[in-house]
Amino acid sequence: MAMKKIKIKKRWLIPSVISIAMLAAYLVLTVIYDAIAASLPDQYSARKWSPDSKQYSQTSCFISENYNFSTDSVYQLRSAVDSALEQASISKDENNPDSRLWIDAYSAETFIDVSSESCKIPVKAKADFCGGDFFYFHDFKYKSGYCFSEDDINSDRVVIDENLSWKLFGSTDTEGMEIYINGMTFKIAGTVGIDDDKVSELTYGSDCRIYLPYSAYEKIYVSSSLSADTPTTASLPITCYEIIMPSPVSKFGYKIIQEQFEGQTDKISVIENSSRFSLRSMLGVMKSYGTRSVITNDITYPYWENSARVVEDKLALILFFRIPLIAVPVIYVLVIIVILWIKYFPTIRDFKNFADKLIDIKRQKVYYKKYPERRRLNEKQ
């Protein structure tokens, strides 16, 4: 049963070239897709925390100011996380009892006025009052110095961005210098650079920005607020909570966070950062493309989340073109395989005929073995 000789017909040439070109375009878009997805390192903090990042997940929760999420709420949420991990039989490494099983961070944003010895006129800046391991989640690039720690006793060290640094001092080499907020003195721990990509220009803007310990807000405004548009101590709610924790099953951390806000889901937005750029997530973004920008709640997202949402839109658009670019060549190859099989390769009937021939040969051998004289007679004929 010999196979027929395969001949490549000219009418296949153009579709083949088109399919190869589409496949090449798909590979180019895949490289671009991966590069854009990797441009936001704060979405991959779980990979820093654990080499086996599949066992850990990073989850962010953005909360409406009207929810009045406070540090007490953070402690309650931390207790819920510990209970959930205990129920899942997940515990610390016995060989390293001082290790932490999970980390979290929280922050709240407002505007404050900042001045210095060389800049007496206050500069209005966006202030992120943060707690927990905020700078682990947001690993900035420092022009000078480094971040402060939540363990700092006096809560008098801050981090400023290069925009504010230039306005206050005319330089970015400002580690250890002093600034003034509402009559209180703070020391600069570090100055961070600002990304110059188009997404950052859109979401970060040209505002000056400063990062302070969350506990510093009460110190600054314990008796009165600086201006009418600056909230008092009791009215500065936490609007962003982030956590990296073990994830024995899919969306483990996501579900824990959601459960803590049961009945108030219209005031929160929970994102699993670890899987937000996966194919499944991007298909969901594609499905809601054009309508997801319609905000029906009063949640204000920080600039880093707005950057991630812009990237999601870009990736969804790229995926929209990647799907047909890979689908058409795959379908074309499958069609060619079917055509070649039908035309050039053995069919079921060919196999049946071949099997029948084998059976006839076998029967003939048995027959001639039983009647050898008839074999000789046939040979003579």
* H-assigned helices in the chain: 13-37, 45-49, 71-87, 134-137, 162-169, 198-203, 214-220, 252-260, 279-287, 303-344, 348-370, 372-380
Considering the domain architecture, whether residues 298 and 202 belong to the same structural domain is answered as yes
Pick the closest to residue 299 from 104, 69, 74, 126 (CA basis).
69
Question: Do 286 and 375 share a domain, yes or no?
Answer: no
Helix, strand, or coil (residue 220): helix
Return the HEC string of 138-162.
CCCCEEEECCCCCCCCCCCEEEEEH
Does 366 fall in a domain? yes
Q: What is the pLDDT of residues 158-182, one digit of tens each?
A: 999 999 999 999 999 999 999 999 9
Among residues 300, 320, 340, the one where a domain terminates is 320
At 230, the pLDDT band (50, 70, 90 cuts) reads low
**The predicted structure's pLDDT at residue 151:** 79
Q: Does residue 346 surpass a pLDDT of 70? A: no
Q: What is the pLDDT of residues 53-104, one digit of tens each?
A: 568 999 999 999 988 899 999 999 999 999 999 898 888 777 776 778 999 9
Answer yes or no: do 316 and 363 share one domain: no
Is residue 19 domain-resident?
A: no
Q: Are residues 260 and 365 in the same domain?
A: no
- Inside any domain, residue 17: no
Report the alpha-carbon distance of residue 39 to residue 352 in Å, rounded. Answer: 59
Same domain, 160 and 307: yes
Q: Is residue 15 part of a domain?
A: no
* 3 within some domain: no
Q: Are residues 52 and 99 in the same domain?
A: yes
Q: Which domain holds residue 86?
A: 41-320
pLDDT (tens digit, 9 = 90+) per residue, 232-276? 545 689 999 999 999 888 889 899 999 888 877 788 999 999 999
Q: Is the domain of 279 the same as that of 167? A: yes
- Mean pLDDT for all residues in the chain: 85
Residue 369 in domain = yes
Token output for 33:
């897709």
Please state the domain count of the chain: 2
Q: Which range (98-112, 133-147, 323-337, 356-370) has the least confidence? A: 356-370
Dihedral over alpha carbons 47, 25, 289, 285 (to 10 degrees): -30
Domain identity same for 76 and 171 = yes
Residue 2 has pLDDT above 90, yes or no: no
Tokens for 182?
């509402």
3-state secondary structure 61-102: EEECHHHCCCHHHHHHHHHHHHHHHHHCCCCCCCCCCCCCCC
Question: Do 243 and 289 have their domain in common?
Answer: yes
Q: What is the pLDDT of residues 110-163, one digit of tens each?
A: 999 999 998 989 999 999 999 999 999 999 999 999 999 887 767 889 999 999
CA distance 238 to 285: 27
Our measurement of the distance from residue 155's CA atom to the centroid of its chain's CA atoms, rounded to an integer in Å, reads 32
**Whether 280 and 363 share a structural domain:** no
* CA distance linking residue 17 with residue 21, whole number of Å: 6
Q: What is the pTM of this model?
A: 0.81
Residues 267, 307, single domain; the answer is: yes
- The answer on 353 and 214 residing in a single domain is no
